[in-house]
Structure 1
Amino acid sequence: MSRSRLTLGVLLVAVLAVTAGCASAISGDPNPDRIAEQMQQRLDDIDTVEGVKVMETTRDGETNTTVTEYVRQPPNKVRTKVIEGGQYRETGDLRVNTGDKTYRYDASENTYTTYDFDYNRSGGYFDADTIERVLNNSEVSYKGTDTVAGRDVHVIELTRTERDSTITIKADKEHWYPLAYETSYSYDGTTTTMSWTHRRVSFNEPVDDDTFTFEPPEGAELQETSTPDTTEFDSVSAANEATAYEVVEPDMPDGYTIETIQEMVIDGTSTTSLSYTNGDKGAYFSVSNESSDMPDGESVTIGNTTGTASSYGDTTSISWSCDGMRYSLGGQLDQSTLVDAASAVGCS
């Protein structure tokens, strides 16, 4: 599930959990399968969404604003154009998802890129596991009603108990579609607030047939992109046989088991990743044959080398290099535990 779909799912779980007829979803014995079915039915009632959205990011007292207009046709067609650029996106930048491909146009460079768009809707937008995790890890409260872009909305506050953060959502009463959103988080002593709200929005209006096609502007150049080759393995030993470098497992704490093992190769760079689970907690380890600069963070000793450690929310990660290889280990674990686990890989 992509990040945008997961975010929409989180918002709609919150709306569903507090609106009339669904309050039982967060009391007693929640039924994620039933909630997922109701949410999917409500989403299926939306044929198209058109709108203008204002997005703001405030950091260190400075606010960056970008305004986009978009047309969305569920499940996977989207056209988004920047009509007022900001620090990160230029006026005229364009993204089109046609259903099987994604096109991105950079107005400042007059270049565009294209990617294959792999979308699997077999499980719908929302699965029961995702919904159950949201309900278990969040406190949802109803804050009344408001108006956004001339439409009545529910105001919901979603407190993520595992991250000590609060999200405010304003969702359309009729369609349960989020029309405004605001959240704040702190990292490395800096507080960042992100928000977006609709200036206008309409549902189920007819759209032109060519809305979700892409025609390069005059003179625009295609930027070649590489598609990574991905291989799944059923054991670390199998990964070692297939890769040109040794994959040494970190000494993970009791309870952590390997969920997936994968090698990704792009432009000659190979990265092998191991993902771990322990109940509702996760961790990851990766090794790559490209040694890039270390990320900023606290200096830590790993074996006979020095790496860096950093934290974001409840996730801590450490990175280090050795003999031209780059290593990373992270998860919902404290720094000392990660350093101990990484020492099994180390650098001799």
Structure 2
Amino acid sequence: MNRRRFLAVGTGAGVALAGCVSYPSADDGPSSESLLRDAVETRRHLSDLTARRTMTVETPSETVERTERVVRQPPAKQRLEVLESTDPDAPVGSVTVTNRETTWEYNPETDVVDVQFHGTKVDADRTLRVLEALLEDYRLGYEGTTTVDGREAHVIETRPPLDETGRRIDLVVGDTTYAVPLSTDELEDLEVSRTICIDDEYRYPVRERNEVRDGGEVRYRLTVTYEDLAIDEGVESETFTYQPPADAQVVTDGTEPEGIFDSFDEAEAAVPYELPAADVPDAYLLDRITVVERAEKYGGVTTTLWYNDPNVVARELYVVVRERARFDPDVLEEIEIDGRTAYYRDGRIQSVFWDCGDVSYEVSSLVDGEPLREITASIGCR
């Protein structure tokens, strides 16, 4: 079951996103910036979320809708159960369950469970990044209040930077990405609008609407709404594991980890090299150690030591030990740490790579400003 197909992908050309040079907020309510800052802080420290989520796509020729029960523990854990649907790619009874190591996708029509192993996957919080981008880059307008699921919510209209074009939008309420399925004709005449409703009590997005208009005609509209929203009320740990139906066909994808360990001693007994005890910042705790056996050209036996800050969503760093190097010095910045040559990568994930005898190391962080050089120096060459 490919859940992304619900939101059809169009051609690769861009839609001009309309907007004005200035876009003032109303004077009789809280500022849009303060509301989004509150939403960012709510998401950054959110432990769990449950809701009934409805997604509706409208075009001049059809309307497709599905309603799901959503349970989340950002950044990695999620459970989706389709309750009602007119979407042929997500029939009623479909289930998707994800944790840090595995995703199960069950399609009741085919009676197939697709199991995807991703023990080395990095779990960034896309929703948090979208909220931060809206706050930092978009022009915002406060449009008063409305009622969502019987609760007061503040309406914010967002407009992108004047030079931004594109036809893909990361959703805040939908926790995914959708593409506007339009033809390439007369794209310059199209206007994209995006409205977000933030619950007054929770200070969290509960509705999002994206529209593409051609003059006065709505060419495409997507609306996502949360009902029965509950934040930080606790969920059972077994929520994020899944037992396939007894008669279902199980199809696996990816490399299943050799082991997922809670301690150095257990992990070290399973690998052919010594594991480093990295000196990480005090806020970080060792979350788990994953061991994956790969082909030699992909690094051989690969051990990842995951550290995260339990008080901040997606504040995570990790140390990787491989039997063979998996970095290209020619495309990285050469640096020196304690007299040893290493290589630095900047981007969404900041990383330092270096070789040491029979193993290769990597230290990476999802957060700017973490002391990667100091962590690297604490490992050195063992």
Whether the aligned pair in 1 keeps the contact of 2:32 and 2:142 (CA below 8 Å) is no
Aligned to 2:80: 80
Residue 224 (structure 1) aligned to one of 241, 252, 255: 252
The number of residue pairs the alignment matches comes to 210
Residue 208 (structure 1) aligned to one of 228, 236, 243: 236
Whether the aligned pair in 2 keeps the contact of 1:43 and 1:175 (CA below 8 Å) is no
Amino acid at match of 2:117: D
Whether the aligned pair in 2 keeps the contact of 1:40 and 1:125 (CA below 8 Å) is no
Aligned to 2:117: 116
Q: For residues 69-102 of structure 1, give each alpha carbon's deviation from its aligned partner in whole angstroms, at most 9, with x where no partner exists.
A: 1111223211100011222310011111123221
- Greater CA drift, 46-55 or 104-113: 46-55
- 1:199 aligns to 2:227 (yes or no): yes
- 1:103 aligns to 2:104 (yes or no): yes
Q: Distance in 1 between matches of 2:205 and 2:34?
A: 21
Deviation at 1:232, TM superposition (A): 5.7
Amino acid at match of 1:69: R
Whether the aligned pair in 1 keeps the contact of 2:77 and 2:98 (CA below 8 Å) is yes
Distance 1:126 1:232, change over 3 A: farther
Whether the aligned pair in 2 keeps the contact of 1:105 and 1:113 (CA below 8 Å) is yes
Whether the aligned pair in 2 keeps the contact of 1:66 and 1:86 (CA below 8 Å) is yes
- Greater CA drift, 190-199 or 57-66: 190-199
Give the secondary structure class of the aligned counterpart of 2:58. strand
Q: Distance in 1 between matches of 2:135 and 2:233?
A: 33
TM-score w.r.t. length of structure 1: 0.51
The answer for unaligned runs of 5 or more in structure 2 is: 5-24, 166-190, 256-293, 299-325, 332-346, 349-382
Distance 1:99 1:166, change over 3 A: same
Q: Distance in 2 between matches of 1:43 and 1:24?
A: 14
Give the secondary structure class of the aligned counterpart of 1:223. strand
Q: For residues 250-287 of structure 1, give each alpha carbon's deviation from its aligned partner in whole angstroms, at most 9, with x where no partner exists.
A: xxxxxxxxx99xxxxxxxxxxxxxxxxxxxxxxxxxxx
- The structure with higher relative contact order (CA 8 Å, sep 6+) is 2
Q: Distance in 2 between matches of 1:63 and 1:25?
A: 31
Aligned to 2:365: none
Deviation at 1:135, TM superposition (A): 4.9
Distance 1:82 1:23, change over 3 A: closer
Give the secondary structure class of the aligned counterpart of 2:252. coil
- Greater CA drift, 83-92 or 38-47: 38-47
Q: For residues 210-253 of structure 1, give each alpha carbon's deviation from its aligned partner in whole angstroms, at most 9, with x where no partner exists.
A: 211100012111123356997764559xxxxxxxxxxxxxxxxx
Deviation at 1:153, TM superposition (A): 1.1
Distance 1:177 1:100, change over 3 A: farther
Residue 207 (structure 2) aligned to one of 170, 180, 184: 180
Alignment of 1:292-307 (within 5 A): none
Distance 1:97 1:168, change over 3 A: same
Aligned to 1:316: none
Distance 1:85 1:22, change over 3 A: closer
Whether the aligned pair in 2 keeps the contact of 1:46 and 1:175 (CA below 8 Å) is no
Deviation at 1:107, TM superposition (A): 1.2
Amino acid at match of 2:210: T
Amino acid at match of 1:159: R
Q: For residues 162-214 of structure 1, give each alpha carbon's deviation from its aligned partner in whole angstroms, at most 9, with x where no partner exists.
A: 24521011111233321111102379x99221111123222222323321110
The answer for unaligned runs of 5 or more in structure 1 is: 4-16, 27-34, 237-258, 261-348
Q: Distance in 2 between matches of 1:79 and 1:138?
A: 31
Q: Distance in 2 between matches of 1:44 and 1:24?
A: 15
Q: Distance in 1 between matches of 2:102 and 2:43?
A: 23
Distance 1:145 1:97, change over 3 A: same
Amino acid at match of 1:165: V
Aligned to 2:146: 146
Whether the aligned pair in 1 keeps the contact of 2:35 and 2:198 (CA below 8 Å) is no
Amino acid at match of 2:230: S
Q: Distance in 1 between matches of 2:50 and 2:254?
A: 32
Q: Distance in 2 between matches of 1:218 and 1:103?
A: 14
Distance 1:137 1:124, change over 3 A: closer
Deviation at 1:116, TM superposition (A): 3.1
Give the secondary structure class of the aligned counterpart of 2:242. coil
The structure whose residues are more often strand, as a share, is: 1
Aligned to 2:66: 66
Distance 1:172 1:53, change over 3 A: same
Distance 1:152 1:135, change over 3 A: closer
Distance 1:97 1:234, change over 3 A: same
Distance 1:50 1:130, change over 3 A: closer
TM-score w.r.t. length of structure 2: 0.46
Whether the aligned pair in 1 keeps the contact of 2:32 and 2:140 (CA below 8 Å) is no
Deviation at 1:24, TM superposition (A): 7.8
Residue 171 (structure 1) aligned to one of 198, 202, 216: 198
Whether the aligned pair in 1 keeps the contact of 2:100 and 2:123 (CA below 8 Å) is no
- 1:49 aligns to 2:68 (yes or no): no
Whether the aligned pair in 2 keeps the contact of 1:65 and 1:86 (CA below 8 Å) is yes
Whether the aligned pair in 1 keeps the contact of 2:111 and 2:248 (CA below 8 Å) is yes
Whether the aligned pair in 2 keeps the contact of 1:48 and 1:74 (CA below 8 Å) is yes
